[in-house]
Amino acid sequence: MRLLGIFAKTYKRNQVLAEALYDTTIHEARILATPISEPKIISINTVDKWVHEFNSWDLCDKACSNVFVKTSFALQLPLRYRNDKREYLNRCAYVMIAYISVHLKKLNDNELLPFLKIIKENTLDDRNFVKKAAHWALRTINKRNAYLMHYTIKTCNEMQDPKDKTKRWVATQALKELKKK
Question: Using one digit for the tens of pLDDT, what is the confidence trace for 13-50?
Answer: 899 999 999 999 999 999 999 999 999 999 999 999 99
Q: What share of the chain has pLDDT > 90, as a percent?
A: 78
112: closest CA among 154, 153, 64, 147?
Answer: 147
Decide: 101 and 60 in contact? Cβ < 8 Å.
Answer: no
pLDDT, tens digit, for every residue of 33-43?
A: 999 999 999 99
What pLDDT is recorded for position 6?
62
Residue type, 40: K
Confirm if 10 and 3 have CB atoms less than 8 A apart.
Answer: no
Provide the pLDDT for residue 177. 83
What is the number of residues in the chain? 181
pTM, two decimal places: 0.92
Q: What is the mean pLDDT of residues 105-134?
A: 93
